[in-house]
Amino acid sequence: MKIPRRPISLLAAAAAALIALPGTASADAAHRGRTYEIATQGSDRASGSARHPLRTIAHCAELAKPGDTCLVHRGTYREQVTPPSGTKDAPITFAAYGDGTVTVDGTDAVTGWKDAGGGLVSAHVALPLDPSENALFLDGGRTMEGRWPNSAPDPLNPTWAVAEKTSTDQHIDDPALPPGDFTGATVHIWAGSNPWSQQTGTVAATTAGALDFTGGNYRCPPLCMGSQTYRNYYLVGAKATLDQPGEWYYDKAAGTLYLVPPKGGMAGHTVTAKRRDWGLDLSASSYVTVRGLDLRGTSLRTGKDSTGVLVTALHARYVSEFSTLPMPADSDLSIPPGEGNIVDSRVLDSGVQLLGNGNELRDSEIGYSAGTGILVRGSGNTVTNTYVHDVGWMGSYTPGIEINGSGHTVTHNTVRRTGRGSIDVSWQLNGVPFHGNRIAYNDLSEAMRTSRDGSPFYVCCNLDATATSIDHNTVHDADGQVGYYIDNSSSQFLLHHNVAYNTGTRGTFFNGHSSVSLGNRDHHSSYGLGITTAAVRLSGATDATGTFVSNDVALTPLEISGPGSPAPVVRSNLLPPVDPRYADARNGELWLREGSPAIDAGETVDGVTTGVRGAAPDQGAYEYGAPVWSSGCSLPGCQSRVHNSGWKATTSDGADASAAVDGDQTTQWKAATAQTPGQYLTLDLGTPKSISRLALDAGLDATGHPYGFTVSTSSDGTHFGAPVARVGGRSFTQDAVFPQTTVRYLRIELTAPGDTPWAVNEIRLYADGPDAASTLQAEQATYTKGVVRGDAATGILGAGDSIGFRSVRFGTGADIMTVRLASAGCGRGCSLQLRLDSPHGQLAVTLPVKDTGGADTWQEQSVHLTHSVTGAHDVYLVAKGGHRVAAVDRLTFRP
């Protein structure tokens, strides 16, 4: 079928230009490189021209030779694509055409639904995946496999049942267990004194208020039921659990899929089921470029021999699904197993997988995985400027990014909302060497959602990290115990210029674990609020030779112990009770203010100390007077936390609950009585803020989280409307999600009774886009024209150059803009224009640029806006005047 000829898009034009560049021609002179087009209206018997496109990407892959390009028009492609290899000088390219979203979908439609009795419908279907790896989507949204107790759709807000203390390693007592036959169901367990991994078993028998199971509990104690702090579990994978719309169960033996239909029946509803694990399978491919494609219900992988693969602008959602945690085979491990392999369950068979050598994933978004977000394995691979979120909800050691091997570069990524770690390195998978890796400028937050013994950045165990650098990272707002955790005798880790706050008991922990901890170093790091006992700790080492901690700034002491010859070096650190004069500790802005005692108080550390201003290096992660570096990616979604500008919280009985909003996750407000419906907390944000998510964090408390609550809003603090969100169940950190709105007052009200008092460690708010009240770092601009972003500022903007930020939230108004910039020799007439919604949009103000005395001399310059800016806008700074107007470090807005 012919399709109309469309005007070529900017992306397609760019692709065509790349094809024509020198050096991209095939080494085979007889093949110059051809462009095929693919469209859902096409035919695989067609030529692949613009007028006669192909129908499938897979067929284009069959035709493609080195130097060829497959341009894919908008639409959904339910297929698996297995590209051939290109060559180093002539890669094969698969790219979105640029006329809309291109989705490679791993699911197929399920039809033929019939009444199955008992309020269920069923369809006969042969699902090819292992039953524990099935996934179902109702009207495009992931729907929950039948489970007890019922849970909300967000898998990182699971509802847990709590076993009685009389339970044992293979037996659960629970009077709340409903009647029914759960034999064969999976029991998911999060239990023990301080559980570091979750486990699954199989129900063998059920009786009234009790069940027996097999499997799980490989280490019992401490990872088992009984008289333990954590005794959480749920059941999944039994027909008897089906009791709410959208829940499903698959009987593989009978080939029958059961579903609780939506209210009103199946008419008008679409169901799809996962069928393909790898929508883009490059496991046998090299020198392939994948650009601008979406994945849904499937994933992408390269192979152990892949090289020269570039994946850019990938948007992957629901990449991995599973409901069991089997222990991997010994053959998958680099080292003989020491813990029954339980900690490495599903790490190697989930996530987007970048294996092999010299491959790159960049400028991408990876979201929603039961297991790993991104697996990096082999050598010399790169992951940069990528947003990873909502992964690892099964609670094993599957992190946002798993790094195995040597020579990798993992930089400028944002990893948020993970079941356990954000970035993880496993000894069983990696082997002892972990050489020459660079892990830098990453923002890691909201980790440890379904674990407690761990950290956002976690290393285990016995690793040799020679020539590896962990630098310029930020870890924060996590419910584990540590920010940077170098566990169980790992050595030669160099940490420097890192930031940690709200990470639990410690900022960084070098754990000797009754063995050695050699050559571990931490320099020029800054530790903020929410660290209770030690900013840096070394303990349990029989030999700590080479340990060196210097130039750190902290609000809590250091605890460095362990013999060595020479002994560990600890010096030139700024510690309590001295106030470091952080810019804004409540919001994690730990750079120094004027007059800080950390300025010029450090010592030079070879290979670490750089960019010194003044008489000597500064202590801490930021050099006063230099541009302030930032961590994380620059894509939409990478900046979302709402600035805490002195919020207030009060209880329903009028008591102060400031500990819930003080920016310190280790302080706690706890109610005086057990939970009862109608109890509430009221938040006053001071000024109206744009918000779309509220996170209610109970910290390490195993009992204080609510059994159910609503969120409502108000403009005056007295009259609250109908709830904008309802949250049920018992999860330790609970999220209420609602349409983005601008409000000043919030009320969190309990809807269910509980046996224990309500406890809140911290309430955090989020929304789409950065908050105008926070600091907008120029290097995180989502738009640039004519200027390059560095790690801490832009280059010099000339006339017509610009930078922009997407969806900046101004709330009810900003009146003053302050820009930190450097300028020299531009003269009169140089300025920075603030424009709204486009580089040519409404002019909000013009800031005349004053000469700062040098292109590397930074100064804040402010201007009153012509009119107060409200709501949410894309904002742009546009340079006017000479060819060297100014370099920009950051900008802020205030009333």
Provide the CATH number for the domain around residue 827.
2.60.120.260
- Label residue 410 by pLDDT band (50, 70, 90): very high
| Phi, psi (degrees; rounded to nearest 5) at 14 | -65, -40
Strand 802-809 relative to strand 831-836, pairing: unpaired
Handedness of CA 284, 288, 289, 290 (dihedral sign): negative
DSSP string, 265-299: -STT--EEEE--SEEEEETT--SEEEES-EEES-E
DSSP string, 636-655: TTS--BPP-SS-EEEETTS-
Residue 283 falls inside a structural domain: no
CA distances from 773 to 514, 689, 745, 875 (A): 47, 10, 17, 14
Could you report the per-residue pLDDT of 488-546, keeping only the tens digit for each?
899 999 999 999 999 999 999 999 988 999 999 999 999 999 999 999 999 999 999 99
The helix (H) or strand (E) run that includes residue 816 is strand 814-822
Domain boundary (766, 790, 809) is at: 766
Q: Quick one: 693 and 837 in the same domain? A: no
Residue 598 falls inside a structural domain: no
Domain boundary (592, 613, 640) is at: 592
Q: Quick one: 229 and 270 in the same domain? A: yes
Residue 309 falls inside a structural domain: no
State how far the Cα of 468 lies from the Cα of 433, in Å rounded to an integer: 10
Q: Which residues share a beta bridge with 891? A: 776, 819
Tell me the mean pLDDT in the region 405-431.
91
Q: Quote the number of domains for the chain.
A: 4
Handedness of CA 608, 613, 617, 618 (dihedral sign): negative
Whether residue 21 is predicted with pLDDT greater than 50 in this model: the reply is: no
Q: Quick one: 356 and 237 in the same domain? A: no
Q: What region, left, alpha or beta, does residue 67 occupy, with left being phi > 0 and alpha being psi -120 to 50 degrees?
A: left
Residue 405 falls inside a structural domain: yes
Do 823 and 830 meet the contact criterion of CB atoms below 8 Å apart? yes
Q: Quick one: 803 and 741 in the same domain? A: no
Which residue stretches of 21-99 are H helix? 57-63
Tell me the mean pLDDT in the region 752-760.
93
Q: Quick one: 588 and 659 in the same domain? A: no
Q: What is the mean pLDDT of the chain?
A: 92
SS percent in the chain: helix, strand, coil, step 5:
5, 45, 55
- As given in the structure block, the two tokens for residue 893 are 């807005």
Residue whose C-alpha is closest to residue 491's, from 471, 514, 521: 521
Residue whose C-alpha is closest to residue 718's, from 739, 698, 747: 747
More confident residue, 451 or 447: 447
Residue whose C-alpha is closest to residue 779's, from 589, 610, 893, 628: 628
Could you report the per-residue pLDDT of 211-226, keeping only the tens digit for each?
999 987 767 777 888 8
State how far the Cα of 570 lies from the Cα of 572, in Å rounded to an integer: 7
Residue whose C-alpha is closest to residue 395's, from 340, 328, 324: 324
For the ranges 276-280, 324-328, 762-766, which has the lowest average pLDDT? 324-328
Cβ count near 894 (within 10 Å): 13
Residue 629 falls inside a structural domain: no
Q: Quick one: 233 and 261 in the same domain? A: yes
Tell me the mean pLDDT in the region 690-717.
92
So what's the pLDDT on residue 3? 33
Strand 776-777 relative to strand 708-714, pairing: unpaired
Percentage of residues of the chain with pLDDT beyond 70: 95
Q: Quick one: 734 and 813 in the same domain? A: no
Cα 169 to chain centroid distance, Å, stands at 33
Do 491 and 548 meet the contact criterion of CB atoms below 8 Å apart? no
- As given in the structure block, the two tokens for residue 273 are 């089921």
Q: Residue 806 belongs to what domain range? A: 776-894
Burial class of 648 by CB neighbour count within 10 A (0 to 12, 13 to 18, 19+):
middle
Do 81 and 105 meet the contact criterion of CB atoms below 8 Å apart? no
Q: Quick one: 752 and 787 in the same domain? A: no
Tell me the mean pLDDT in the region 347-365.
97
So what's the pLDDT on residue 343? 75
Give the 3-state secondary structure of 12-48.
Answer: HHHHHHHHHCCCCCCCCCCCCCCEEEECCCCCCCCCC
State how far the Cα of 387 lies from the Cα of 768, in Å rounded to an integer: 14
Could you report the per-residue pLDDT of 121-176, keeping only the tens digit for each?
999 999 999 999 999 999 999 999 999 999 988 999 989 999 999 999 899 999 99
| Phi, psi (degrees; rounded to nearest 5) at 712 | -130, 165
So what's the pLDDT on residue 733? 86
So what's the pLDDT on residue 232? 92
Whether residue 763 is predicted with pLDDT greater than 60 in this model: the reply is: yes
So what's the pLDDT on residue 339? 54
So what's the pLDDT on residue 20? 35
Residues with Cβ within 8 Å of residue 397, at least 6 apart in sequence:
197, 343, 344, 345, 347, 420, 421, 424, 426
Tell me the mean pLDDT in the region 405-413.
97
Place of tokens 């130039």: 551
Whether residue 29 is predicted with pLDDT greater than 70 in this model: the reply is: no
- As given in the structure block, the two tokens for residue 203 are 């129900």
Do 701 and 668 meet the contact criterion of CB atoms below 8 Å apart? yes
Whether residue 487 is predicted with pLDDT greater than 80 in this model: the reply is: yes
Q: Quick one: 514 and 402 in the same domain? A: yes
Whether residue 356 is predicted with pLDDT greater than 90 in this model: the reply is: yes
| Phi, psi (degrees; rounded to nearest 5) at 15 | -65, -40
- Label residue 337 by pLDDT band (50, 70, 90): low
Residue 308 falls inside a structural domain: no
Residues with Cβ within 8 Å of residue 551, at least 6 apart in sequence:
523, 524, 525, 572, 573, 602, 603, 605, 609, 617, 618, 619, 620
State how far the Cα of 544 lies from the Cα of 769, in Å rounded to an integer: 44
So what's the pLDDT on residue 252? 95
So what's the pLDDT on residue 31? 52
State how far the Cα of 393 lies from the Cα of 195, in Å rounded to an integer: 15
Cα-only R_g, the chain? 28
- As given in the structure block, the two tokens for residue 405 are 């091997």
Residues with Cβ within 8 Å of residue 758, at least 6 apart in sequence:
670, 671, 675, 679, 704, 706, 750
Alpha carbons within 13 A on the beta-carbon side of 419: 28
Do 38 and 71 meet the contact criterion of CB atoms below 8 Å apart? yes
Q: Quick one: 417 and 555 in the same domain? A: yes
So what's the pLDDT on residue 6? 34
Residue 683 falls inside a structural domain: yes
More confident residue, 342 or 611: 611
Q: Which residues share a beta bridge with 377? A: 355, 404
State how far the Cα of 641 lies from the Cα of 834, in Å rounded to an integer: 23
Q: Quick one: 852 and 834 in the same domain? A: yes
Residue 511 falls inside a structural domain: yes
Q: Quick one: 508 and 365 in the same domain? A: yes
Do 493 and 459 meet the contact criterion of CB atoms below 8 Å apart? yes
431 secondary structure, DSSP code: -
Domain boundary (734, 766, 798) is at: 766
Q: Is 331 in a helix, a strand, or coil?
A: helix
Could you report the per-residue pLDDT of 569-582, keeping only the tens digit for each?
999 999 999 999 99
Tell me the mean pLDDT in the region 355-360.
98
- Label residue 22 by pLDDT band (50, 70, 90): very low
